[in-house]
Amino acid sequence: MAITFKDVAFTYQAGTPFATPALHDVNFTIPEHSFTAVIGHTGSGKSTMVQQLDGLALPTSGSIQIGDTTMDAETDKKTLNQIRRHIGMVFQFPEAQLFEQSVIADVMFGPMNYGMSKSDAEDAAKKALQLVGMPESSYDKSPFDLSGGQMRRVAIAGVIAMEPEILVLDEPTAGLDPEGQQELMTLFATLQKEHNLTVILITHQMEFVGEYADNVLVFDGGTVVKSGTPEAVFADSDWLRERQLDVPAATQFADMLQAKGLPIEHVLDLDHLADQVVSLIGGPTHE
Ligand SMILES: Nc1ncnc2c1ncn2[C@@H]1O[C@H](COP(=O)(O)OP(=O)(O)OP(=O)(O)O)[C@@H](O)[C@H]1O
């Protein structure tokens, strides 16, 4: 499902003395089945933008097209519910939302709430739990007896079990150790590539943007100031630093080596940087 924002503006508490403009002139298209990273310094409007996707906050002006449905300030509840059916939202620390007595019951809750029969919901929950790598022996356990990383995977399984076409992830790896972060990122990449989901990831971790995204939106001051491939967006590290953003470490090293006169090409990951360095000094390249 493709997504298009057209001239979207949003103001919190619009029309009151506490009005806070958060988005203006937001225009972009996210292609179907793509992996889009949304980056920008704190307060630049990233979370407000993704909240518009499932109508948690409707645009004050402008419109959002999701698949064949258009959403704007006037959109009714019935249309919103239809749109929500296709969108899975994973907010920061989603494990805080777990509440059922068993892992399987927690993951079944969403699908049943959407009208799936108990046995279909159980099938969907088992499939989702398998996808996130939870062992069958955990299904009857209390979610609160699991590790933090496992709790998060169960919470994500609850979203996947609703079989969304678009998965929106707002800093889903926050607070996990590096291994747990990498495992989740691999899961999201699998969902995009093998299960044809459109993935939208808000992150401050530029390594993940370089490794997984095929499309990047840069937010600043409540609007998109740049979009394109990671290669294009990370090509100008000074421009990003002015917006309090970084480039992947490999890109920084490559830039430093280039500045010292070495014939190193722009890279996004350490493997490719290592390959170039090794071929310069004449050794075996990375497999
Ligand atoms: N509930 C709210 N009420 C009023 N203003 C808000 C609310 N939530 C966010 N804002 C304001 O809207 C603007 C955009 O905030 P938003 O949370 O979308 O930024 P962000 O890029 O997601 O930041 P972060 O990376 O810290 O999550 C900021 O000025 C923020 O203070």
End-to-end CA distance of the chain: 35
Verify whether ligand 1 is closer than 6 Å to residue 44 (CB atom): yes
The reported pLDDT for the residue numbered 225 is 97
User: What's the gap in Å between 252 CA and the centre of ligand 1?
Assistant: 29
Number of H helices, E strands in the chain: 11, 10
The reported pLDDT for the residue numbered 270 is 85
Measuring CA to CA, which residue among 175, 251, 179 is closest to residue 210? 251
Please list, residue by residue across 47-77, b when 16 or more beta carbons sit within 10 angstroms of its beta carbon and e when fewer do: bbbbbbbbbebbbbebbbbbeeeebeeebee
Return the DSSP state at 158. Answer: H
Question: Residue-wise pLDDT tens for the chain (287 aa)?
Answer: 899 999 999 999 998 999 999 999 999 999 999 999 999 999 999 999 999 998 888 999 999 999 999 999 999 999 998 899 899 999 888 888 888 899 999 999 999 998 899 999 999 999 999 999 999 999 999 999 998 889 999 999 999 999 999 999 999 999 899 999 999 999 999 999 999 999 999 999 999 999 999 999 999 999 999 999 999 999 888 899 899 898 888 888 888 888 888 888 888 888 888 888 888 888 765 55
Q: Where in the chain is the domain with CATH 3.40.50.300?
A: 3-238
Look up the pTM and report it: 0.91
The answer to whether residues 203 and 176 touch, using CB atoms and an 8 Å cutoff, is no
The answer to whether residues 3 and 71 touch, using CB atoms and an 8 Å cutoff, is no
The reported pLDDT for the residue numbered 112 is 94
User: Regarding the domain with residue range 3-238, which homologous superfamily does it belong to in the CATH classification?
Assistant: P-loop containing nucleotide triphosphate hydrolases (3.40.50.300)
Measuring CA to CA, which residue among 72, 61, 64, 79 is closest to residue 29? 64
User: What's the gap in Å between 67 CA and the centre of ligand 1?
Assistant: 27
Please list, residue by residue across 109-121, b when 16 or more beta carbons sit within 10 angstroms of its beta carbon and e when fewer do: bbbbeeebeeeeb
* ipTM value for the complex: 0.97
Report the distance separating Cα 12 and Cα 33, nearest Å. 31
Report the distance separating Cα 32 and Cα 279, nearest Å. 38
User: What's the gap in Å between 45 CA and the centre of ligand 1?
Assistant: 6
